[in-house]
Amino acid sequence: MNQVLSILSICATANFLAACNAPAEQLADVAHKTQFVMDPHSYARPEEAVTTHLDLDIHVDMKQHRITGTATYDLKRQSGDSVIFDTYGLTIDKVVLGDGMPAAFTLGAKDSILGQALRVALPPGADKVSIAYSTGPEAKALQWLLPAQTGDKQFPFLFTQGEAILTRSWIPIQDSPGIRITYNARVTVPKELMAAMSATNPQERSTDGVYSFKMDQRIPSYLIALAVGDIHFKATGSRTGVYAERGMVDTAAWELADMEKMVEAAEKLYGPYRWGRYDVIVLPPSFPFGGMENPCLTFATPTIIAGDRSLTSLVAHELAHSWSGNLVTNATWDDFWLNEGFTVYFEHRITEALYGKDYNDMTSLLGYQDLLGTIAEIDSGKHPEDTALHLHLAGRDPDDGMTDVAYEKGYAFLRVIEGKVGRPKFDAFLRGYFDHFAFRSITTDTFKTYITKELLEPANVALNMDEWIDRPGIPSNILIPVSDKFTKVDSVLAQWEKGTPAKDLATQGWGTFEWMHFLRHLPAGLKEAQMDQLDAAFRFTDSSNSEILAAWLEQCVKNDHAKAWPKLEEFLTTVGRRKFLVPLYGELKATPKGRALAMRIYAKARGNYHSVSVGTLDQMLAWKDSKPPVAF
């Protein structure tokens, strides 16, 4: 049920159009009223007082690992005598009102997931508050890297990760995806470093270490992001470019050469890119995700730099979020599939336009395999209801519900609709959907009502929408992807199983996806000699492609192939991408010997991981040590 608390008319000004190149009439809809829904993961009460703009002024102390500064907010008030922010581990020094007068404030009880509510008392008419604060040692969004933990090993590095509810650990904020703000920031960093944010960005160093940023489109809090380090820029086109550490920037620019074409393909599908520039920052290897769609500046893992441009569909995914997610946003984390399911669909449409149908059939089938694995895993756990698209995460860490279901079941659902109405109608619908809900946050119910009225009824199409959205499991009308290329891989695998030596197999011309499919489908219980034979023929252990290496290492663990342990240890202690860590540690912990190895490596590696990976792995490995992680 859509728990609408109240309706506020916001976004009456037009300054959010500034960085935008879309015709004005397409944007007229943004002046629509915003409905605030109950978000179980935020203390904020936007129906009483809601923030509309943030002016952030912070100092980044790379030695003390602390951010100190002020967050000044413009408020829109409706009722009540206070405004509530979310905080996590912040020290609040002082709160003043627009007129400079101190304001009374209280911090509520600590909740291990939600943090603490900061309630600021507001006299009648007060519409500005300024909060002086500093971050704590356990700021979950932040990862502070010592020089040794970076690619170049020369300078320290800091990056933030806001999604889902971590922004509150570095900015006091109304931290709900249903609340949107514009922001300006002034960030002071050590002179030898550069700062970049999810906003307009510098391309060169300033002389004094002070950087100014502007995001004049209304975004949810989880999209506010900051990176500080020895960052350099290189253009890949007129609107696109890459940031990275000095030693990585040329390599990254080569690898991501298709970015400009991706933006063009995306615009051709679903309308103008509305955020000005599209850049990617390639972060040090501990970044916990493949990518994060911070507006104007996608944050990415260096594990996509394979040397052959084969893993750049990740950029297509994060770029697609510039429409699904950043323009039209899930109103609560229960609606996460609206962000990710639509984005996977859009990502596939971009890569199909650029790389063709075979490519797409392969990635769709890999995704379907992931979905089956995830559903089996969820079904054997405590929350089998998490295989529904629409989640119910109240009382839980939203991160726990963010699985492949949102991505791949969401994608499969949209493919079913596309199949029923045909591509032209579905494309027109999506284009209209992005325009209609642009710069708004919506619930699953809003989507249901909209698609029924705008697409299903006019096309006279029957759809088992509730089964797809609200029930667990996979509905029987899923369209299972078929890939001719993978059928060929299957027959090569069969030949190997029948005794053809690995070096004589017909693997010429295979790319990353064929190898992933091959590795995922090796038979169980391989002998040492068979593993040796495969590695001698295909040099998996030496692969510089992270997807191939990770899939191979998983097989090594399953088959107790001890020769790969040095590589496994090197991988697990340098790469912090959760998607790779979880299956590897998961396989390791399945046997007593593997578990011992896992614990030894984890003790050494834990200090290199971001809090989101640490959170998942501590739980998985029942890690007991309460000492703060030590970096090596």
513 binds, options ligand BES, Zn ion, none, Cβ within 5 to 8 A by partner type: none
Nearer to ligand BES, 197 or 526 (CB): 197
- 116-137 burial, b at 16+ Cβ within 10 Å, e below that, comes to bbbbbebeeebeebbbbbbbbe
Q: Which is nearer to ligand BES, 140 or 440 (CB)?
A: 140
Which option in ligand BES, Zn ion, none does residue 120 bind, with CB closer than 5 to 8 A by kind?
none
Choose from ligand BES, Zn ion, none: what does 289 bind? Cβ within 5-8 Å by kind: ligand BES
**What element of type H or E holds 512?**
helix 512-520
Instruction: Give the one entry of ligand BES, Zn ion, none that residue 290 binds, where binding means its C-beta sits below a cut-off of 5 to 8 angstroms depending on kind.
Output: ligand BES
Nearer residue to ligand BES within complex by CB, 126 or 405: 405
For the record, the structure tokens of 138 come out as: 């356990």
Compute the least distance from the CB of residue 256 to Zn ion, in Å.
17
Q: How far is the CB of 292 from ligand BES (least distance, A)?
A: 5
Q: Contact, 490 vs 521, CB < 8 A?
A: yes
Query: What does residue 376 show for φ and ψ, rounded to 5 degrees?
Result: -60, -40
Which option in Zn ion, ligand BES, none does residue 408 bind, with CB closer than 5 to 8 A by kind? none
CB environment 427-451: b (16+ within 10 A), e (fewer): eebbebbbbbbbbbbbbbbbbbebb
Nearest to Zn ion of 155, 299 (CB atom): 299
The distance of closest approach from Cβ of residue 352 to ligand BES in the complex, given in angstroms and rounded to an integer, is 15
Pairing of strands 297-300, 291-292: antiparallel
The footprint of Zn ion on residues 330-349 (CB under 5 A) is: 340, 343
Distant-in-sequence, close-in-space partners of 519: CB < 8 Å, separation ≥ 6? 540, 548, 551, 552, 554, 555
CB of 343 to ligand BES, least distance (A): 6
SS3 65: coil
Closer CB to ligand BES, residue 103 or residue 164? 164
List residues with catalytic annotation: 318, 407
Spell out, one character per residue from 48 to 67, where the chain touches Zn ion: x when CB under 5 A holds, - when not: --------------------
CA 570 to chain centre: 25
Residue 276's binding partner out of Zn ion, ligand BES, none, with CB under 5 to 8 Å set by partner kind: none
Helix, strand or coil for residue 42? coil
Q: How far apart are CA 338 and CA 65, in angstroms?
A: 35
Is residue 499 within 8 A of residue 533, CB to CB? The reply is no
User: Contact letters (x/-) for Zn ion, 287-326, by CB under 5 A?
Assistant: ----------------------------------------
Toward ligand BES, which CB reaches closer, 361 or 397?
397
d(CA 463, CA 468): 9
**Which partner in ligand BES, Zn ion, none is near 438 (CB below 5 to 8 A by kind)?**
none
Residue 164's binding partner among Zn ion, ligand BES, none (Cβ under 5 to 8 angstroms by kind) is ligand BES
CB nearer ligand BES, residue 56 or residue 164: 164
Give the shortest CB-406-to-ligand BES separation in angstroms: 8
What are the phi and psi torsion angles at 469 (to 5°)?
Answer: -90, -40
DSSP 336: H
Residue sitting closest to ligand BES (CB): 290
Residue 324 C-beta: closest distance to Zn ion, Å: 9
Q: How far is CA 538 from CA 440, 506, 519, 562, in A?
A: 49, 12, 11, 18
Give the number of residues written for the chain. 632
Q: Is the bond preceding residue 235 a cis peptide, omega within 30 degrees?
A: no
Please answer whether residues 328 and 440 qualify as being in contact, where contact means their C-beta atoms are separated by less than 8 angstroms.
Answer: yes
| Shortest spacing between CB 321 and Zn ion, in angstroms | 6
- Measured from the CB atom, is 540 or 580 closer to Zn ion? 580
Dihedral angle sign, alpha carbons of residues 346, 352, 358, 363:
negative
**Which residues sit at the interface with ligand BES, rule CB under 6 A?**
163-164, 289-293, 314, 317-318, 321, 340, 402, 407, 579
User: Nearest distance from residue 406's CB to Zn ion, in Å?
Assistant: 9
Task: State the residues that interact with Zn ion by CB under 5 A.
Answer: 340, 343
